[in-house]
Structure 1
Amino acid sequence: MNSTINAQNKGLEKANLAYNKFAFIKAIALYEQEISKGNTSFEVYSKLGNSYYFNGNYPEAIKAYSNMIDHLNNVDSEYYFRYAQALNSTQNYKTAEEVIKKYYKRSGKNDISDNWNENKLMESIKKQSNRYTINSVSINTPFSDFGTALYGKDKVIYASAKDTGVIIKRKHSWNEKSFLKLYSADVTMDDGLQNPVVLKDDINTKYHQSTPAITKDGKTMYFTSNNYADGKLGTDKEGTSYLNIYVAHNVNGEWSSIKKLAFPVNSDSFSSAHPALSADESKLYFVSDRNNKFGNSDIYVLSLNKGGFVGNDVKKLGDEINTLGRETFPFVDDTGILYFSSDGHPGLGGLDVFAAIKDQKDKYHVVNVGDGVNSTADDFGYVIKRSTKKGYFSSNSSGNDDIYGFTENKPIDFGMNINPFVFGTVRDFDTKKELEGVVVEVFNLADEKVNMVYTDADGNYKVEVEPLKEYKFVFKKEKYAQKTEQIEPLKLLGSKELSVDLINEWEVIVDNKRKEIKEGIDLKDVLNLNPIYFDYNGYNIRESSKPELDKIVALMRDRPKVSLQVNSHTDSRGRDDFNMKLSNNRAKATVNYIIAQGINTNRITGKGYGESRLINKCSNGVSCMEAEHQLNRRSEFIVIVNEQ
């Protein structure tokens, strides 16, 4: 009897040792042997189910979890959740909903099992359907290819387990597939991928490398690797090696200065993997199984400093994102939308890709990105370039991990308006009374009018804009000077208040003083401009004069009824005919500069007067200092009122 018990204990010890080292294929065989010998304990069935589950063999995981839950008492509520996950992954939606209800009843948590209802689930998927055009890429192999990262304008870096020429392939004990290396590939004109090349630098070790995240300038890369340094694998006390995140820098085209990120990102006692950068590259998202006895992974975030240095403010994302399932492969697009894969949120099966956005209360709203990308298999590694609406994702829907390209044909529906907006109030400058009927025109960077609204009876307006784009707002009302304001890019769900006061079109405030604009007046005097000087015998606009001319441009832009006559003068030195030609060239150069800033050609003319209108005694034959001659090399800007 004792020998039988000892044999069982040794068999279970071997199985647990393999399980703890993530050698799940080996663990499965050993646990099955234990069951055949009559060991039907909670430990055996739970770890057998987990071993199948972690390898994506959901039908066998269901059998193990079912045996455990149906025949054993006091099973942790978390196993009901995982059992429901496995059922959902095999499209047993009705049974999955029944099991998840038991989980919420046993756990005492807020019951949201209705989200697992098949009709509701399929309706949410349908809402996001037909959004993608999917195409295969030519770099896929019979081995695992996944985890694409955008690299510059026309490259990607991805992970592959394809044969690199080693006769005996090194196996990863988690799933008995070849170890992964990082490769680069070129993006083709039709957004396919070609010319895969293994990274030759110090990035690739003899163990795993995968899931890179690269800064927009292409100089820094974060990636996943085994805890490997100085030729050795780092392990915990039991000899288990975990995944860590590393950073590398591109110097003269080579990835070097590779360092493992410090604690609290990495540790010898838990895994951290799949890094992702926030839109402004100030934060690092990553996945970790820390503090997680159930073996699932969660998404974390922390601050990121220049040079690849991370802060110590690691924060687990909230329950809107993280579940008792596996949340993994985060990616943040340029608008701030967080994409990730999960089998803990109800989906089509296996890992589905989800999108999440924070509202004004800092709470994430999560939706399934829909079919096309998502399938009944594992779908993950989603990346998108927002400007082109093109990207890549990975899936094992073909039976192996492959990369797919896609085009997003319409935006995701979060069930709420997520575009930013600009709002404000327009008032009279003098009376501060709200102005009704003010035209608010919105222009894009190409100076194309993209929207137009009017202020209401209270002088208020509101305009929706696209995220991360610059705009120009122009406020117009009869008898008032126009007001032009630039709007910096806004994030999704962002807003900006832009309130303005409009002044009488024939007045201007300069140095806190009100000045009148009228026919025949010189704007140089109205705007207190510094003189527009030219070099001796030259007619190019000085850099020092451009800010002064820009003030004239601003006044004319906001007052369409103001036209100008530019008068240009020279000093007395040189021949009279030469000076006349020189002054005409100076007038022309001044007019051309103002036109180049967007003022219509029919609103400005120029004329040269040579040395015929000197403003001091420095005529021909009179000895003067250079500074006195320079006073005569000037321009005048005479107002012409255009009432049309």
Structure 2
Amino acid sequence: MRIILFLFISTLFASCSIEKSMNNAEYDAVIAKLGSAPSKNSPEENVMVGDAFRKSNRLVESIPFYREAIKQGTLEEAPNLYLAQALKVEQEYDEAKRILDNYLPKANDDKIRKLAEKELHNLQKIDELKQKESYYRVKNLADLNTEKAEYSPVYSRNYLYFTSNRDGSKIYRTTGTPFTDIYRVATKGANVELTTLSPLDPMINHLDTNEGSVAISPDGSSMIFAKGNDGKAKGYSEVNLFFTRFRNGKWSEPVPLSINVAEAWDSTPAFSPDGTTLYFSSTREGGYGGADLYQAKVNRRGRWVDVRNLGPEINSAGDDVFPYVSEDGSLYFSSDGHPGLGKLDMFRAVREGGHVTVENLGKPMNSSADDFGLFQFNLTRGFFTSNRKGGRGDDDIYTFINDDPDLKVVNYFLTGVTYTTDDAGEEIILPNTKVSLTADNGDVLDEAFTGADGKFDFRVYPEEHYDLIGEKTDYFTVRKDFTTIGKTVDKSTLTEFITNITFETKIMMDPIVLERAIVLDNIYYDLDKANIRSDAALVLDSLVQIMNDNPEIYIELGSHTDSRADDDYNMKLSQRRAQSAVSYIINEGIQAERIVAKGYGETQLLVKNAQTEEEHQRNRRTEFKVLRYNPRDRDDDLPPDESVDEYDRFFKDSGDGNG
């Protein structure tokens, strides 16, 4: 009896120990205890081992454990999905389809069912992807790669930066492999000079943390990289983004970015070509799948702000990671949620006509394994990472060349200036103005702050309509439309590889002056009537837009008549007309307390003793004026904050650029 009790207690403690290791993400410990013979494990243990292999990026090795768990009758539904995904990596596409076909009719877990349906749809696209024409050529960067992992290459100023566990001695218990560090090596194109290979200094690389993917600022002086938490960073238990600057021959102490989210995985950073946008991947709440792609903008104070999800056209139900924006505005990224050949495939997203199209790069850029971390050396050459068969070991760095003979690049840019006018009507440059580029659906595509010259620049896309929104404290927020529709170029007529087309515009900013009347042109009423005509409604709609864009203003809407009736009649008529216009505006959603109606009759004639119909029309006008203004704190007028951490000011102070 004692022996039986002892065996029971021993088994109980062993089970608790394994679950504890699993909960602590010590997947290698779970595999060491249960990963030898799936037929000897319970269904629960086999699912646990399968999950341990999958979560430590060893998906193929999970196959016998998920398969055995399903055979044993596990009640968990997720192993069906994960087994199909693992079989896809092994190019056993028909078997993967069979697993999902058997599972779906009896699915009860709504979330897993939807993911399985999506995976089955993706599997049905495999043959189409295999037949995709490709002009890419790829080659293993064998001089650099080892049997360990080398991944996430980034080229900057004659150096190739990458992440590797090649020299690690301490083992990361999640994967059973050494911790990763960031390295750099001098290179001329794809020709690396191995004698220059070295890890970054200990200020960056720590013995007991994983340093991950890197983004180098365009000037080469600053770096944002992913770093695993060592337990000392309060509130950050996952992977997060850190900033450091190279100055006076060394890297500064890395500090976490304010856009990190506690308990989320924030990683795979990349700068836009001009350095004003940071792209990254995150598992924060509110996304469309596992890890989603996001962007943040740097404001004129150097802070990363306005974090935005890139949307459902790009983000999938799976993981979308490793963004990269090329010189032609294309967004490259990796995903296991879009139709692909294996686990992570590489994709290219382009915008045209107001829509985003996502294209799989096809073979040989993609394989049945993980393919990710693309970085272009120029528009036809670059680097990426793959753990495909035939490599040197784990993840390897590859080079690629695009030999497409019809490849033509057309870049469209919009440049402009913000200005105001003086009393004489002369234009005056207006600096420190926030300008936003928005699509027809209201999505903000880009933002900029004008400098001392009042200039702003945006990349725009073919066959698309935009609104430009100018904002500055003490000035009316204004909108100006712009379109590339009918202005795009037929690539077949071009002879140059790269063609840049620049459009120009101006944005006039009116100051907010209390009690100053502003005429609303083209608001007409039928004779002796106060109802809003359709043509007048269009003008009033523009005032509604002004009110929505400027929530800090409270206005009076005034109506004036000409002098061709008696004073009392005109006063009453103008009040009815003003009230009618105000009622229209309130019905469009403007708060009633923000607008009042005022009829002036003929008391404020612009043309006294009017004789012509044109002169009478000038007197018959509708105006608005600002009665009260509660200015918001807008970023354009905020002074530099000396308490801001160093990383928050890097964009204003680029350092010595020797990184």
TM-score bracket relative to the smaller structure = 0.5 to 0.7
Question: Aligned residue for 1:378?
Answer: 370
8 Å CA contact 2:163–2:182 kept in 1: the answer is yes
Q: Does 1:328 find its partner at 2:324?
A: no
Q: Do the aligned partners of residues 391 and 421 (structure 1) sit closer, same or farther apart at CA in structure 2, a change above 3 Å counting?
A: closer
8 Å CA contact 1:420–1:464 kept in 2: the answer is no
Q: Do the aligned partners of residues 68 and 39 (structure 1) sit closer, same or farther apart at CA in structure 2, a change above 3 Å counting?
A: closer
Q: Do the aligned partners of residues 215 and 372 (structure 1) sit closer, same or farther apart at CA in structure 2, a change above 3 Å counting?
A: same
**Residue 248 of structure 1: how far off its partner (Å):** 0.9
* TM norm structure 1: 0.57
8 Å CA contact 1:128–1:368 kept in 2: the answer is no
Gaps of 5+ in 1: 423-459, 472-486, 490-495, 498-644
Q: Does 1:10 find its partner at 2:13?
A: yes
8 Å CA contact 1:125–1:368 kept in 2: the answer is no
**Residue 190 of structure 1: how far off its partner (Å):** 5.5
**Residue 307 of structure 1: how far off its partner (Å):** 7.0
Q: Does 1:127 find its partner at 2:122?
A: no
Question: Aligned residue for 2:386?
Answer: 395
Quick one: which of 110, 119, 122 aligns to 1:116? Answer: 122
Q: Which amino acid aligns with 2:128?
A: E
Question: Aligned residue for 1:53?
Answer: 54
**Residue 5 of structure 1: how far off its partner (Å):** 5.0
Secondary structure of 2:252's partner? Answer: strand
8 Å CA contact 1:12–1:34 kept in 2: the answer is no
Larger Rg: 1
Question: Aligned residue for 1:450?
Answer: none
Question: Aligned residue for 2:239?
Answer: 243
Distance (Å, rounded) in 1 between the aligned partners of 2:381 and 2:395? 20
Q: Which amino acid aligns with 2:205?
A: N
8 Å CA contact 1:140–1:403 kept in 2: the answer is yes
Secondary structure of 2:46's partner? Answer: helix
Distance (Å, rounded) in 2 between the aligned partners of 1:305 and 1:103? 50
Q: Which amino acid aligns with 1:116?
A: N
**Residue 371 of structure 1: how far off its partner (Å):** 1.8
Distance (Å, rounded) in 2 between the aligned partners of 1:250 and 1:192? 22
Question: Aligned residue for 2:198?
Answer: 197
Distance (Å, rounded) in 1 between the aligned partners of 2:49 and 2:333? 27
Question: Aligned residue for 2:331?
Answer: 338
Q: Do the aligned partners of residues 468 and 2 (structure 1) sit closer, same or farther apart at CA in structure 2, a change above 3 Å counting?
A: farther
Secondary structure of 1:63's partner? Answer: helix
Question: Aligned residue for 2:256?
Answer: 260
Quick one: which of 154, 160, 166 aligns to 2:164? Answer: 160
**Residue 187 of structure 1: how far off its partner (Å):** 1.8
Distance (Å, rounded) in 2 between the aligned partners of 1:381 and 1:205? 23
Q: Deviations over 1:447-492 (max 9, x none)?
A: xxxxxxxxxxxxx876236899665xxxxxxxxxxxxxxx428xxx
Secondary structure of 2:65's partner? Answer: helix
**Residue 220 of structure 1: how far off its partner (Å):** 1.8
Quick one: which of 488, 500, 508 aligns to 2:502? Answer: 488
Secondary structure of 1:377's partner? Answer: coil
Q: Deviations over 1:595-627 (max 9, x none)?
A: xxxxxxxxxxxxxxxxxxxxxxxxxxxxxxxxx
8 Å CA contact 2:411–2:499 kept in 1: the answer is no
Q: Which amino acid aligns with 1:272?
A: D
Q: Which amino acid aligns with 2:163?
A: A
Q: Does 1:91 find its partner at 2:91?
A: yes
Secondary structure of 1:367's partner? Answer: strand
Secondary structure of 1:286's partner? Answer: strand
Q: Deviations over 1:529-571 (max 9, x none)?
A: xxxxxxxxxxxxxxxxxxxxxxxxxxxxxxxxxxxxxxxxxxx
The Cα RMSD (Å) is: 4.0
Question: Aligned residue for 1:581?
Answer: none
Q: Which amino acid aligns with 1:141?
A: T
How many residues are paired up? Answer: 418
Q: Which amino acid aligns with 1:19?
A: M
Q: Which amino acid aligns with 2:384?
A: F
Q: Deviations over 1:42-79 (max 9, x none)?
A: xx333321111233433432222233344446534x54
Q: Do the aligned partners of residues 49 and 323 (structure 1) sit closer, same or farther apart at CA in structure 2, a change above 3 Å counting?
A: farther
Q: Does 1:177 find its partner at 2:177?
A: yes
Secondary structure of 2:43's partner? Answer: coil
Q: Deviations over 1:169-199 (max 9, x none)?
A: 1111222222222222112266545421222
Distance (Å, rounded) in 2 between the aligned partners of 1:140 and 1:370? 24
Question: Aligned residue for 1:225?
Answer: 227
**Residue 247 of structure 1: how far off its partner (Å):** 0.7
Question: Aligned residue for 1:635?
Answer: none
Distance (Å, rounded) in 1 between the aligned partners of 2:361 and 2:87? 21
8 Å CA contact 1:131–1:408 kept in 2: the answer is yes
8 Å CA contact 1:276–1:286 kept in 2: the answer is yes
Q: Which amino acid aligns with 2:98?
A: E
Question: Aligned residue for 2:340?
Answer: 347
Question: Aligned residue for 2:303?
Answer: 309
Q: Which amino acid aligns with 1:304?
A: V
Q: Does 1:408 find its partner at 2:402?
A: yes
Distance (Å, rounded) in 2 between the aligned partners of 1:281 and 1:344? 28
Q: Which amino acid aligns with 1:464?
A: D
**Residue 289 of structure 1: how far off its partner (Å):** 3.5
* TM norm structure 2: 0.55
